[in-house]
Amino acid sequence: MGWMICAALCAYFIKELCGFANTLVFTTILSFGYDNVNISPVELILGYPTNLMLIRKERASLKTKIWLPLTAIVLVGDIPGILLLKNVDVRAVKIAFGFIIIALALEMFFRENGGKMGRQSGLALGAIGIISGVLCGLYGVGALLAAYMSRVTDSSQEFKANICMVFCIENTFRIILYTILGIITPGTVRQAVVLVPVMFVGMFAGMKSGSFLNEKTVKKLVIVMLLLSGAALVITNFS
């Protein structure tokens, strides 16, 4: 339980500072000692209320034309991701996740240093949405979705409102399927409930730290941490 407390503190500290990456940080830390089938449902329940809070806070910035089509495509990708989570080999999942962490960290690095790119095509929207759905269903990770959303929104408020709407609907869908498939258990719910105060402590610490920490510096530290963690996860499970 100590590792889960540490993971929740770090994940929601980062979420408050950067507005994303909580699931990626939480899953990365716990992947060294837990199977993904035991990580994703806990983080799903734990993070659900934070999305609702951000939607309420930034509701004026919601745009149906942004969140609605992306949500539909993500839900299509969710189903194979959830089935893989239930049935795939644990070591294979961790190795794949390690490579995904590295790829997403590199994408974050180039995005931070390359500035905002132009708006993407409908084909790109479809591909990113389906892949994001698979990643959400399998790992609970929406970083690829965040990378796309950052390119089609014009402000941090618009980004947070629309991505949280996608996450909220996707999370609701995933909670239902996880429950039907037996991935969410009473033990999962108890773990998540115990971690709720830790989550709020992490977010409060992030809010206070945001007044004197440079956001770009924090994001760079996250990128370095993810690169090292992803490499370590791949090496450990290949040996």
Mean pLDDT, rounded, of the chain: 80
> What is the Cα–Cα distance from 149 to 155, expressed in whole angstroms?
11
- Amino acid 115: pLDDT: 54
Tell me whether residue 98 is in a domain: yes
To the nearest 10 degrees (0 to 180), the angle between helices 215-238 and 90-114 is: 150
Reported in sequence order, the residue ranges of 15-55 that DSSP labels E, i.e. its strands, are: none
Tell me which of 184 and 212 has the higher pLDDT. 184
The answer to whether position 228 is within a domain reads: yes
Confidence tier at 79 by pLDDT (50, 70, 90): confident
In the numeric block, which tokens belong to residue 87? Answer: 């049935």
86 in Cβ contact with 185 (< 8 Å): no
Q: Indicate whether 120 belongs to any domain.
A: yes
Report which of 179, 134, 173, 140 is spatially closest to residue 36, judged by C-alpha positions.
Answer: 140
Q: Could you give the number of structural domains in the chain?
A: 1
- State which amino acid sits at residue 49: P
Question: Domain containing 83: what range?
Answer: 47-189+214-238
Has residue 22 been placed in a domain? no
> Does residue 95 fall inside a structural domain?
yes
pLDDT range class, residue 131, cuts 50, 70, 90: confident
120 pLDDT tier (thresholds 50, 70, 90): low
> Quick check: 5 and 195 in contact, CB under 8 A?
yes
Q: 180 in a domain, yes or no?
A: yes
CB 227 within 8 A of CB 105: yes
Asked, for residue 79, whether it belongs to a domain, the answer is yes
Within a domain: 32: no
For 1-19, write each residue's pLDDT tens digit. Answer: 788 999 999 988 887 776 6
